[in-house]
Amino acid sequence: MVIKTKSSKFAYFTVDFECFTHDLCRSLGTENKPSLRTHELIRSVHNIQKIISFTTHQSTKMTFFCTGVAADLYPDVLKELAALGHEIACHGNFHDDVNKMTPKVLYAELKLAKDKLSQVTSKDVIGFRAPRFSIDKLDFERLDVISQLFNYDSSLHFMDQTEFNNWKSQCPVDLIEFPVPQQNLLISKFKVKLGGSYLKLFPSKFVQYAANRSVEKGLTPIFYFHPYDLYFGYSQLASWNELKGAKARAYWYLRQAQWAGLFNWGQERKVRKLFSSFSNLGTLSESMHETQIPLK
């Protein structure tokens, strides 16, 4: 029997919905086309629906930041997400770092991805998150490019409300920012973000501590997961044959476990604990008009 818990702490739960095997093979320069993981991705969606239904929340809706490649390869999965009421936002076309693209290339890639996602889901796509949070908070040129296509961004990290407010006061870009907080833990250089590898590799209390500290410092926690964080199996790892042609093939075959395999046996427990500790505020687009969030 699952006992529902109610928390007085609130947070946003988000998913960076990318195609891990495709992105890995492409980044390593292989010409392989990995087999589709449709079953695994659908299971990820069902797992998150199941977990959130077992806890008491304000909302059962989340924001999924999806790549254009995800729209190409898994249109039916994205349609299911939209049908369930989740928000589909943009995570780039390929899972490429924003800070390595010129503003002109960045605009073209984001426009292409936005069009794909909008066409597949029949909904306007108004939010963006950079792959791997790969944009500097003072890179106003690229933030301006993002503002030309989207109403809000959720790519930047801050430690407290004061730091966020100081940044807002100097930011010339008309864009709403939902910051993903990060906090120091143990030593000043060890900064814990609210999800991803930090949740996989460390006890969940590390991420919970960072989230609680963020609340104390005036920032609403934004947790982020990936499909392979929510599958709890291992078949989202690229196979040995799928990595054929990659440099340091054996290294990357093992290294991928850090992201999509290591400690999967304990991941469900960790995710459930986070969901039971914070009440879900719903999609980011639903909160766009909160007075503490806009830059302008």
Give the model confidence (pLDDT) of 83-112 as tens digits.
Answer: 999 999 999 999 999 999 999 999 999 999
pLDDT in tens, 36-82: 999 999 999 999 988 888 886 778 899 999 999 999 999 999 999 99
Look up residue 1 and give its amino acid. M
Q: Residue 281: how many CB atoms within 10 A of its CB?
A: 21
User: What local confidence, expressed as pLDDT, does residue 197 receive?
Assistant: 87
φ/ψ of 177, rounded to 5, equals -115, 125
Q: Which residues lie across from 195 on neighbouring strands? A: 224
Tell me the three state secondary structure of residue 243.
coil
> What pLDDT does residue 52 have?
86
Of 4 and 117, the structure prediction assigns the larger pLDDT to 117
pLDDT band at 4 (very low <50, low <70, confident <90, very high): low
- Map residue 54 onto helix, strand or coil: coil
pLDDT tier, 287 (very low <50, low <70, confident <90, very high otherwise): confident
**Residues in a beta bridge with 15:** 64, 225
- Cβ-contact 199, 210 below 8 angstroms: no
Q: Domains in the chain and their CATH numbers?
A: 10-287 (3.20.20.370)
Closest CA to 65 of 195, 170, 159, 185: 195
In this predicted model, what pLDDT tens digit does every residue of 112-165 receive, in sequence order? 999 999 999 999 999 999 999 999 999 999 999 999 999 999 999 999 999 999
Higher pLDDT, 28 or 8: 28
pTM over 0.75: yes
| Phi and psi, residue 188, nearest 5° | -65, -30
